[in-house]
Amino acid sequence: MSKHLDDDLTQSRLSRYHKLEPDVKTYLFNLLSTHNPNLLPKYSTTDVPYTKLDLLDLLHDGEILCKLGQLLTNIPSNPTTKYKSSSMPFIQMENINNFLLLCKIIKVPEDEIFQTIDLFEKKDPYSICICLMSFSRIVNNLEPQVFNEVIGPKKVKIKPVVPNKPRNLKG
């Protein structure tokens, strides 16, 4: 694969991310502001309210992902309950990983689960949106009284082809 094609694939995935990001943020805001009203406002600064932050900046420390996962009450040994607040990178990556473990437990398709590095180093923002959309569909079936909203397309019988990940984004 040529470098030029790789760049085109990267740009295509970034473009898709920018189209999906507002819906994903709205989903998180709606869900978490109901159950954890003080969580999102703490990401605001004097210059920038949390509503204007990039999705990846909001999710970077893993807290929002863990709080989202903790809303699932019928999962024994839910790994997101191990959330630790920290500015240390390895703890933040552990938080992200705990959410990804939950995704595996609830059977988010493996090819729709992002890698920790995709979020932590902002390698592949589109994959984060794909994972959260799939997560929203599954948890809506598991606990619709809590997760009453679904983002992204509805589950289809025939799985669409997911564009190949550019070489420079592969972990």
**How does pLDDT run across 52-88, given as a tens digit for each residue?**
889 999 999 999 999 999 999 999 999 999 999 999 9
Specify the pLDDT at position 5.
74
Specify the pLDDT at position 2.
57
* pTM of the predicted model as reported, rounded to 2 decimal places: 0.84
**Cβ-based burial of 115 (10 A; exposed 0-12, middle 13-18, buried ≥19):** buried
| pLDDT class of 171 with cuts at 50, 70, 90 | low
- Arithmetic mean of pLDDT, 9-27: 90
User: Mind listing the pLDDT tens digit for each residue in 107-135?
Assistant: 999 999 999 999 999 999 999 999 999 99
Distance (Å, whole) CA 50 – CA 20: 17
Helix, strand, coil distribution of the chain in percent, nearest 5: 60, 0, 40
- Arithmetic mean of pLDDT, 92-105: 98
The token pair that represents 42 in the structure block? 């703490």
Residue 78's CB: how many other CB atoms inside 10 A?
19
**Domains of the chain as residue ranges with CATH:** 56-171 (1.10.418.10)
Residue 158's CB: how many other CB atoms inside 10 A?
4
